Amino acid sequence: MRDPAIRVEGLHYRYPDGRVALYGVDLCINAGERVAILGPNGAGKTTLMLHLNGVLTATSGAIEISGITLTRNTLRDIRRRVGLVFQDPDDQLFMPTVAQDVAFGPANFGVAGDELAARVAAALAVVSMTEHAERSPAHLSGGQRRRAALATVLACEPEILVLDEPSANLDPVARRELAETLATLPATMLVVTHDLPYAAQLCDRAIVLDHGTVVADGTIAAVLSDAELLAAHRLELPWGFTVPAR
């Protein structure tokens, strides 16, 4: 059997101020799955996300990516495999042009010359940003910045994509366009979100996190149809939304 794309066992994390954010999280996610990570504010969702490529270091527990245990010695390899797309695109866009931002990650991993140019072109094409390659990120719309930030990660060709609130602050058209782009990507995908309809559109499985622990794990339809579960963890579907059958 192939190793799962992500295995998390007994993950605990305590912030330097003493606040415990994760209490023994266990997860197993197979290659190709699209999984929504749901939960109220302060549940530990973003903290979990930041562990998956070593931005944060666990207080205790273990993380494996494609069978490779995350350690100081494997960190560079893990970061090639796991791409994080942050909630705020400005956390990822800091170069004078979009193309330079997209080139930054793979160049850091040693990609150069024609291969680097090809990766930049391919990543921009996937997110429909080719015509904006030489523009300053500061002059893009919110939706364009979100797609440019995604391109900076795609250019590194990760096996796993982890997206933090990808639909936040997008207008309806930009929201739809980004969902259509994400739906075409072959990578294993974790979508950290409060946007339950967006989770239903993109994902087949949902994990609910609250107070630093996993409280539910099932199909997206089963989780979103459980009104008692949603209410207990401060999650709510928009008025009139019907959970689609899968």
Mean pLDDT along residues 133-154: 93
pLDDT at 174: 84
Q: How far apart are CA 131 and CA 24, in angstroms?
A: 46
Residue 168: the pLDDT is: 85
The mean pLDDT of the chain is 93
Is pLDDT of 213 > 80? Answer: yes
Phi-psi region at 68: left, alpha or beta (left = phi > 0; alpha = psi -120 to 50): beta
Determine the 3-state secondary structure of 225 from DSSP.
Answer: coil
CB 52, CB 63: distance < 8 Å: yes
Per-residue model confidence as pLDDT tens digits over 173-203: 888 888 888 998 989 999 999 999 999 999 9
* 126 and 151 Cβ atoms separated by less than 8 Å: yes
Task: Determine the average pLDDT of the residues in 99-115.
Answer: 95
Residue with tokens 């994902």: 203
**Which pLDDT score is estimated for 2?**
66
The answer, yes or no, to whether residue 45 has pLDDT greater than 80, is yes
Report strand pairing: 20-29 vs 6-14. Answer: antiparallel
Of all residues in the chain, the percent with pLDDT exceeding 90 is: 81
**In this structure, what token pair is assigned to residue 37?**
């990570």
Phi first, then psi, for residue 189 (nearest 5°) are: -135, 130
Residue 186 phi/psi, 5-degree rounding, is -85, -10
Section 87-113 average pLDDT: 94
- What tokens were used for 95? 């170069």
Predicted confidence (pLDDT) at residue 209 exceeds the cutoff of 80: yes
Which class in CATH covers the domain with range 6-91+160-232? alpha beta
> What three-state secondary structure class fits 71?
coil
pLDDT tens digits for 112-122? Answer: 999 999 999 99
pLDDT at residue 33, as a whole number: 96
pTM over 0.75: yes
Closest CA to 128 of 100, 156, 147: 147
